[in-house]
Structure 1
């Protein structure tokens, strides 16, 4: 039997910039979880300030600058632990990836 390297071991990670067109818009939301995580980390770093609360319309507007499906991006950011949200959904905050359940902000929930 010959050993084959795993597909991920033989490929170097592609830069997140490859996901964007020349005008700065996201071409598509990646389907592969690892690739999507890279994108979400990038969006969190570039669109949201640390330690600041955002109302949902502000989150939507920031995400609309890169892709029309802002609601899917917002959901991925919360589920992935990049953005935390209050239980009532009125406030969002960038968070360190601790993966709090349901993306709730413990101090504000």
Structure 2
């Protein structure tokens, strides 16, 4: 998991700019900037329970609620950025 220093003020500003709503979580745009991505995906990862295993369908269902336009990119980014892991066949996902 990439560690990027973000102040609480920066985090709040980023969250308010990239999410339409924080409760329920609704993403407006996926940023390509590292600092924004770190804040976005940390927030999205918080929608999953530590220690719980999810099917791909479960993960997709949660992510579709957050960003239906491109939930598969969210799923891949959660893995690529180190917030989640999965079995090689994609049958189970979990928070790291």
TM-score for both structures, normalised by structure 1: 0.70
Runs of 4+ in structure 1 deviating by more than 6 angstroms, as ranges, are none
Distance 1:24 1:93, change over 3 A: closer
Q: CA deviation at 1:18?
A: 2.7
**Higher strand proportion (structure 1 or 2):** 2
Q: 1:19: Cα distance to partner?
A: 1.4
Larger Rg: 1
**Residues 1:89 and 2:90 are matched in the alignment:** yes
TM-score (norm 2): 0.79
Write the distance in 2 (CA, Å) between the matches of 1:26 and 1:44.
13
For residues 1-109 of structure 1, what are the structure 2 equivalents within 5 Å?
Answer: 13-15=10-12, 16-22=15-21, 24-45=25-46, 47-68=47-68, 69-95=70-96
Q: Distance in 1 between matches of 2:95 and 2:64?
A: 17
Cα RMSD (Å): 1.5
Q: What residue ranges of structure 1 are gaps of 5+ in the alignment?
A: 1-11, 96-109
Question: Could you list the runs of 5+ residues in structure 2 that have no partner in the other structure?
Answer: 1-8
Please give the alpha-carbon distance, in whole angstroms, between the structure 1 residues aligned to 2:17 and 2:35: 14
